[in-house]
Amino acid sequence: MINVTKTFLPPQNDYQALLKKAWETGWMTNRGVLVQELEQKLKEHLQVPNVIAMTNGTLPLQIAIKALGLKGEIITTPFSYVATTSSIVWEGCTPVFVDIHPEYLTIDETKIEAAITPETSAILATHVFGNPCDVEAIEMIAKKHQLKVIYDAAHCFGVTYKGQSIFTYGDVSTCSFHATKLFHTGEGGALVCQPEYYNTMYDHHNFGHDGPEAFHGLGINAKMSEPQAAMGLAVLPYMSHICARRKFVVERYSNGLGSEDIQLLKLRDGVEWNYCYYPVIFKNEAVLMKVKTALEKEAIFARRYFYPSLDTLPYVDHSEPCQLSHKISACVLCLPLYVDLDRQDVDRIIKIINANIC
Ligand SMILES: *Cc1c(COP(=O)(O)O)cnc(C)c1O
């Protein structure tokens, strides 16, 4: 069976050697030595001013919204994972969807200003499949209208834009270290922010504690645990190997799928990408279903990601549907992509797709 992804597992001995440190300290959580070491290493690896390790990639979104004091409407993208929208609603704000760019698949920055109202407090956009939003345009709009900017950068581990970590753009960026993501800690995630926000973000992820007996304010528990950090420390040394292997698969797909009937991801100029996903956009949903069924007959499970378009969720307003996002989410399939995916299997997938697209 070939799944859309397969978690990279480091040598078990590496993991156990790291866990031994947790046994020695007797600490399983509360920001022990392993979490601190992981944060330090990630700061260096990603070249960012700060990293707060968290227990998943959803809580950093919620904490960013809460800690920035956002209220009212938040402009967002309908083409993302459900956590982008659910975090907004969970924090008592209203998502206002702006349609996406047909090739980059990120929020269409030219349509943002028309969606701004006196109630708008922020823009929360996703760097889709590691492809950055137009961060410069978004920054200008945000400055002009005094809006905060949060980037859901769940896919962006290691991505740089114009030579700089993509996590350094916007007020806050979040990442996911879920087992299906490029870099992982089983479950896990992180928040990176402009230095002025660090203390408030940190406090919010640790119950608002100000020492053991006092509180700065409201907080929640989003702390990463020591076993999670051990997994991260064990995986981190393999990142260049992981990306090199994925690059090989990606290039083989791209060479084999050069057909006019298929739209491939167009990366923005200036991006150093991380080979995190291989989305393929078919002419229509019928072709997608035909390809998906043909792959499944061979026990190959591609995934409809992102589907459905988030402006169709049962708990959001449906009055202004985002047509492009509807069309693309109905036609997009992410192909299997992981470190030890065989060359023969990649060729087999290419052959099945090419035989089913017309
Ligand atoms: C995976 C993902 C998340 C959520 O991360 P978790 O670690 O699973 O909580 C949020 N946004 C996007 C775009 C994702 O792909």
CATH number, domain containing residue 62: 3.40.640.10
Give yes or no for residue 158 CB within 6 A of ligand 1: no
Q: How many helices (H) and strands (E) does the chain have?
A: 12, 15
Cα gap 62→89, rounded to integer Å: 9
- Whether 201 and 101 map to the same domain: the answer is yes
51 found inside a domain: yes
Residue where a domain terminates, one of 237, 259, 274: 237
- Whether 32 and 179 map to the same domain: the answer is yes
- Whether 217 and 227 map to the same domain: the answer is yes
- Whether 250 and 225 map to the same domain: the answer is no
- Whether 285 and 254 map to the same domain: the answer is yes
Strands (E), the chain: 2-3, 52-54, 73-76, 94-97, 120-126, 148-152, 160-161, 164-165, 172-176, 189-193, 262-264, 271-272, 279-282, 300-301, 332-334
> What is the number of other CB atoms lying within 10 angstroms of the CB of residue 208?
15
Q: For ligand 1, pick from 176, 276, 307 the residue to mutate: most ligand atoms within 8 Å of CB.
A: 176
Give the Å distance between the CA of 176 and the centre of ligand 1: 5
Give the Å distance between the CA of 154 and the centre of ligand 1: 5
Residue where a domain terminates, one of 237, 259, 288: 237
> Taking the model in full, what pTM does it have?
0.98
5 found inside a domain: no
Contact 76, 95 (CB under 8 A): yes
Give the Å distance between the CA of 61 and the centre of ligand 1: 9
Cα gap 51→126, rounded to integer Å: 19
4 found inside a domain: no
Residue where a domain terminates, one of 237, 266, 301: 237
- Whether 220 and 247 map to the same domain: the answer is no
- Paired sense of beta strands 332-334 and 189-193, if any: unpaired
Give yes or no for residue 129 CB within 6 A of ligand 1: no
Number of structural domains (the chain) is 2
CA distances from 181 to 4, 167, 184 (A): 11, 16, 6
CATH of the domain at 321: 3.90.1150.10
Give the Å distance between the CA of 212 and the centre of ligand 1: 31
The ranges of the chain with pLDDT < 50 are none
Give yes or no for residue 152 CB within 6 A of ligand 1: yes
| CA-nearest residue, atom 13 of ligand 1 | 81
**Rg of the chain over CA atoms, in angstroms?**
21
2 found inside a domain: no
- Whether 184 and 250 map to the same domain: the answer is no
Atom of ligand 1 nearest to the CA of 80: 13
- Give pLDDT, residue 167: 98
Give yes or no for residue 178 CB within 6 A of ligand 1: yes
- Whether 340 and 226 map to the same domain: the answer is no
- Give pLDDT, residue 260: 87
- Whether 218 and 265 map to the same domain: the answer is no
Give yes or no for residue 125 CB within 6 A of ligand 1: no
- Give pLDDT, residue 291: 98
Contact 67, 191 (CB under 8 A): no
What domain range includes position 281? 239-356
Q: For ligand 1, pick from 65, 157, 178, 306 the residue to mutate: most ligand atoms within 8 Å of CB.
A: 178
Nearest-5° Cα angle at 81, 329 to 141: 90
Atom of ligand 1 nearest to the CA of 187: 7
Give yes or no for residue 76 CB within 6 A of ligand 1: no
> What is the number of other CB atoms lying within 10 angstroms of the CB of residue 353?
26
- Whether 112 and 149 map to the same domain: the answer is yes
